[in-house]
Amino acid sequence: PPVIHLKDYRPPEFLIDRAALHFDLGLEETAVHAELDLRRNPAAKRGDGDLYLDGEHLELLEVALDDRTLPPAEYEIREDALVVHRVPDRFRLRTRVLIRPADNTALEGLYVSGDMLCTQCEAEGFRRITYFIDRPDVMTRFSVALAADAERFPVLLANGNPVGEETLEDGRKVARWDDPFPKPSYLFAVVAGDLAAVSDRFTTLSGREVPLNIYVEPENTDKCDHAMRSLKAAMRWDEERYGREYDLDVFNIVAVSHFNMGAMENKGLNVFNAKYILARPDTATDMDFAGIEGVVAHEYFHNWTGNRITCRDWFQLSLKEGFTVYRDQEFSADQSSRGVKRIEDVRMLRARQFPEDAGPMAHPVRPDSYIEINNFYTATVYEKGAEVVRMQANLLGPERFRKGTDLYFERFDGQAVTTEDFVRCMEEAGDIDLSQFRRWYAQAGTPVLECADSFDAHTGAYTLEIRQHTPTTPGQSTKLPLQIPFAVGLLDAAGADLPVQLDGETEAPAPGTRMLALREAVERFTFVGLDAEPVPSLLRGFSAPVIVRYPYTDAQLTFLMAHDSDGFNRWDAAQSLSVRLLLELVAESDKPVPEAYIEAVGRALKQDDADADQALLAEVLTLPSESYLGDQMTVVDVDGIHRAREQLAAAIGEQLRDALLGVLERNQEPVEYDLSPAAMGRRALRNAALGYLMRAPTPDIVERCRAQFEAGHNMTDVIAALRCLVDADPEHVGDAGEQALTAFYQRWAEDPLVLDKWFGLQAQSSRPDTLERVEGLLEHPKFTLTNPNRVRALIGAFAVGNPLRFHAVDGAGYRFLADRILELDPLNPQIASRLLYPMTRWRRYDEIRQALIRAQLERILEVEGLSNDVYEVVSKSLG
Ligand code: B3K
Ligand code: ZN
């Protein structure tokens, strides 16, 4: 398959100013009639005189140019295009095509989910609906007429504003929609179905009343409150923080059960994976609720960052995604605890983006090339992209950043632009030189900062030396130094912040954090006015997406964990301490857990008093995951890591039993369910404590756990208890785990999103027979390969969420995954390709496992007719 390069970008030869589409909707067969107003793009070079329209899986019935039906000699149908020969400079083209939604298992273009019809067009799905110039720099005014059986499809939705509805004599209904804002085809959407609406209104800053609707299958109308609340909060926040108002007469959201990713920001008609809309306290966990708030906001924010201003080409994807993730992260931080949100975001960046940056698929925030663009909706483009925007926001400060975004919105409204255009706005409005900073967009890999220090007791001068280097990544062997905002604090022996005064400065600043600007490969900073050697607190607030190395002693980490004024670094010190200890336990299996460590955890537990931040405490108490620990090793020791982590958790559970029981007592669930950050924090902390206690359970604790499960007060508590019961040694809990699983199934068999949790939990169990069980579940009547959520819940959870069993040294896990990928690829290449991720990391394992994984990758590569999606990831992984 061809490789697409950024350097080959050329403006489109033709533009489409207007498109009028008429759909005759049916599940089996849909007819699409398109009327396109085309003209030659004055900014583009003249090509061969032919018009190329993208189109895939379309059955062409008719093509007419300026009302003249074209004879076959005047056009050519290719597998992926319609070529119309020698067209004039300005003309109207009409096409009529047939498509087959019910056969569309890829879930791109128009497809069927349950009884409804819906679309997904980003990145290149519109070409499966009709012939078009399907690229983001062609911005078109769309009007749409939808005709369908009025009984089966009473709700007919498209982008923009509704402009009329009529019922025809034959029992069909026609709905017309008009979108006044020119948009690229990837933002196109239609939905048809027998849906119920949950409705509300929002009054914009300028006083316009906008009806808001969330469309769901009728049985789900009692699960939309949280999504609606989140939407209204997001609309208000965008007005207040960015001065951005909503711009259409109506805002619609639809929740669908079959969806490849989280959601889609189609103009005025956001389509969501039901997982990111539907929630009730008894069906969704606190994490689910937080996910809904974040994704609803994210898609809404795209209306300005993505839709009004879009990407020139797909290499610019982070222009809209990085910025919009930054916006949704800040929004969520404002809704609850900023500190905890930052920890969660960094945890996720380190868990997903750092490994990507260190693996065979590493690419810059603005990639240089791709085979399949769908493979580049990555943690790098999204989450690292958000960090790159955050660094600019921090460099400029809130006021100048706002001036920068105002300028960006004003200058580029209605256009398709580049990350360079964004940076230039920041530069102009911020009056700052970002020329070196731009490398963050172009250079892949995670920079490493090696820090060393020295203290001169005579002069009171403390010197910090920082060396930055970025490891090479595929196709990028030379790396240049980056501009890195590096936030530093210095602590005195009592744990208080010292003034961070640079040599040469006459006056000491107030004690606190100092932002250093790194630019060179090696930099030295000397701080003066110190009575004794300070303890450095480095990269406060995670001021840049880098790895810091500094030879802290255990005592220093414990000290920072207790005293650092920066909440993020208190947590990070605790993480570093746990990682270090766990790696020691991996290396030396009979090493006892040091008392100092248990004491430090005990001290942290004592902070659980009335005014503590329980959510933060829960984060501090959470041990690094098995995969994160693996990332810290030269060769991942799958079994050793699991054993060490269990050993440490059991030691905490045993030795701090009373303190943990105290946490359970103090943080009992009130009768009245509450979704406030404080209540969520209490649940997180209590369940963390329960997790430890259940590692070394006495009958009374097992009983407590079972009672929590049975009380069924809310899904957060139910799942936490169920997980403990399923993972516990049957020697301690008997068949309580099995019983709980059965009870859970009986209660929730008909709620797909909750049932996904049931599949997922079993797939993640550390029990030795998990793979067999997962294989058995493939045959379960409720399992299907055609629902991505279900696939992720069972197969994805096993491959990514269960390193111990997936990496079993007999290779059965690898064979299992490869088999599933080969089954899925012909059905849904995007989902098949996503499942490859754990195998892309094969070089990180021992020789036996390396050979086993490689053999499966090679086996996949040999299969004929592989999708571009899977081909690209497998070939790059082996290459
Ligand atoms: N823009 C979509 C993602 C589309 C993925 C296409 N494979 C959702 C989002 O980022 O908001
Ligand atoms: Zn997005």
At 632, give phi and psi (nearest 5°). -85, 0
Give the CATH number of domain 14-193; options: 2.60.40.1730, 3.10.20.30, 3.20.20.80, 2.40.50.100. 2.60.40.1730
Asked whether the domain spanning 749-879 has the same topology as the one spanning 552-696, the reply is: yes
% of the chain surpassing 90 pLDDT: 98
Looking at CATH, the fold of the domain delimited by 749-879 is given as Zincin-like fold (1.25.50)
Give the integer Cα–Cα distance in Å for 194 and 156: 9
Least confident of 274-288, 411-425, 487-501, 594-608: 594-608
Give the integer Cα–Cα distance in Å for 483 and 427: 14
242, 304 contact by CB (below 8 A): yes
Looking at CATH, the fold of the domain delimited by 195-282 is given as Zincin-like (3.30.2010)
At 752, give phi and psi (nearest 5°). -55, -40
Give the integer Cα–Cα distance in Å for 875 and 879: 6
Strand, helix or coil for residue 322: helix
145, 137 contact by CB (below 8 A): no
Report the pLDDT value the prediction gives residue 99, as an integer from 0 to 100. 98
Residue 308 Cα, ligand 2 centroid: separation in angstroms?
A: 14
Compute the average pLDDT of residues 786-793: 98
Residue 302 Cα, ligand 2 centroid: separation in angstroms?
A: 7
Compute the average pLDDT of residues 436-464: 98
Alpha helix segments (H runs only) across 544-635? 554-563, 567-587, 595-606, 614-621, 626-631
Q: pLDDT by residue (tens digit) across 622-636?
A: 999 999 999 999 999
Neighbours of 868 (CB within 10 A): 17
Q: pLDDT by residue (tens digit) across 205-232?
A: 999 999 999 999 999 999 999 999 999 9
Nearest to 233 by CA among 290, 307, 309: 290
% of the chain surpassing 70 pLDDT: 100
pLDDT at 608 over 90: no
Atom of ligand 1 nearest to the CA of 374: 7
Compute the average pLDDT of residues 445-453: 98
- Tell me whether residue 299 is one of the annotated catalytic residues: yes
Half-sphere exposure of residue 91, counting CA atoms within 13 Å on the CB side? Answer: 16
User: Can you give 224-259 as a three-state secondary structure string?
Assistant: CHHHHHHHHHHHHHHHHHHCCCCCCCCEEEEEECCC
User: Can you give 57-94 as a three-state secondary structure string?
Assistant: CCEEEEEEECCEECCHHHEEECCCEEEECCCCCEEEEE
Report the pLDDT value the prediction gives residue 610, as an integer from 0 to 100. 65
Give the integer Cα–Cα distance in Å for 861 and 878: 9
Residue of 253, 377, 380, 383 with the most ligand 1 atoms within 8 Å of its CB, for mutation: 377
Residue 187 Cα, ligand 2 centroid: separation in angstroms?
A: 12
Q: pLDDT by residue (tens digit) across 665-722?
A: 999 988 889 999 999 999 999 999 999 999 989 999 999 999 999 999 999 999 999 9
Domain ranges within the chain, ordered by starting residue:
14-193, 195-282, 310-442, 448-544, 552-696, 749-879
How far is the first Cα of the chain from the last one, in angstroms, to the nearest whole number? 16
Those residues whose C-beta lies under 8 Å from the C-beta of residue 271, and which sit 6 or more positions away, are 118, 119, 120, 189, 191, 253, 254, 256, 259, 263, 264
Residue of 124, 275, 321 with the most ligand 1 atoms within 8 Å of its CB, for mutation: 321
Compute the average pLDDT of residues 371-378: 98
**Catalytic pick from 108, 265, 293, 299?**
299
> What is each CA distance from 62 to 32, 51, 131, in whole angstroms?
11, 16, 11
Looking at CATH, the fold of the domain delimited by 310-442 is given as Neutral Protease; domain 2 (1.10.390)
**pLDDT class for 609, splitting at 50, 70, 90?**
confident
Give the integer Cα–Cα distance in Å for 576 and 571: 9
- At 219, list the tokens: 């049985």
pTM of the predicted model, to two decimals?
A: 0.98
Looking at CATH, the fold of the domain delimited by 448-544 is given as Immunoglobulin-like (2.60.40)
Nearest to 441 by CA among 545, 302, 342, 573: 545
DSSP bridge pairs for 454: 463
Compute the average pLDDT of residues 543-549: 98
- At 243, list the tokens: 């001065």
Residue of the CA atom closest to atom 2 of ligand 1: 264
Residue 869 Cα, ligand 2 centroid: separation in angstroms?
A: 20
Compute the average pLDDT of residues 836-862: 98
Give the integer Cα–Cα distance in Å for 572 and 110: 46
Compute the average pLDDT of residues 776-804: 98
**Helix (H) and strand (E) counts in the chain:** 31, 31
Residue of the CA atom closest to atom 10 of ligand 1: 321
> What is each CA distance from 848 to 297, 808, 877, in whole angstroms?
45, 11, 17
DSSP string, 643-705: HHHHHHHHHHHHHTHHHHHHHHHHTPPPSS---SHHHHHHHHHHHHHHHHHTTS--HHHHHHH
Is the distance from the beta carbon of residue 299 to the nearest atom of ligand 1 less than 6 Å? yes
Ligand having the closest approach to the CA of 270:
1
Give the CATH number of domain 552-696; options: 1.25.50.10, 3.30.300.30, 1.20.1260.10, 1.10.600.10. 1.25.50.10
